[in-house]
Structure 1
Amino acid sequence: MFARINSVQAETDKLAGLVGFAEEQFPEVREAPGFKGFYLLADRQSGKVVSISLWDSDDDLRRFEARGAHVREEASSDLNIAPTPVDIYEVVLQA
């Protein structure tokens, strides 16, 4: 399994908009081949937000990445949040 992790710094008053945006995108993401799960983590005091998506394989994740880049650009534009790089990890232990 592979994880795609992205973190952004948002103004705290934009967190609700970011959550709403993620909820709108989720049905399409859920249908992507190899998709295993998604987490959106937020520190409401600092405005730091981390998203984690899980994928069956590196190939599944890479096939979705073009769409993921589009979603990040859209969120950046709609919510005025600076785009940030994505990190990809292999999940080597799951408990």
Structure 2
Amino acid sequence: MFAQVVSVEAETDKLSGLLTFCEEQLPSFREAPGFKGFYLLADRRSGKIVTVSLWDSDADLRRNNDGRGAQARQEASAELGVTPPPVDIYEVVLQA
């Protein structure tokens, strides 16, 4: 399994808009080949936001990352009023 991690800091009042955006986008991601899950983590005090998406394979992750995922990150960044952050990709080597 592979994970895509994106971290960003935004104004704390932007979280509710991002949450709505993610809820609207999730149905199309759930249909993507290899999609395993999504987490939206937030520190409401500092405005730090981390997203983690999980994928069956590196190929599934990268196929999504280059297509719909890139578009969704652009739209989410616009929602937050920030520059699109870098994307980190990890292999999940232990799951408990």
TM-score category, normalised to shorter length: over 0.9
Aligned to 2:46: 46
The answer for the alignment partner of 1:17 in structure 2 is 17
TM-score by length of 2: 0.95
Could you give the per-residue CA deviations for residues 43-65 of structure 1, whole angstroms, max 9, x where no partner exists? 00000000000000001001101
- Opposite residue 44 of structure 2, the aligned amino acid is R
Among the aligned pairs, what percent are the same residue?
Answer: 71
Distance in 2 (CA, whole Å) between partners of 1:75 and 1:53 is 15
Please tell me whether residue 70 in structure 1 is matched to residue 59 in structure 2. Answer: no
Deviation string for 1:5-30 (max 9, x for gaps)? 00111100001001111111000001
- The DSSP-based 3-state class of the residue aligned with 1:19 is helix
| Unaligned segments of structure 1, at least 5 residues | none
Equivalent residues in 2 for 1:27-46, closer than 5 Å: 27-46=27-46
The CA deviation at 1:82 is 2.0
TM-score (norm 1): 0.96
SS at match of 1:78: helix
Q: Give RMSD over aligned pairs.
A: 0.8
Across the two proteins, how many residue pairs are aligned to each other? Answer: 95
Residue 56 of structure 1: aligned partner = 56
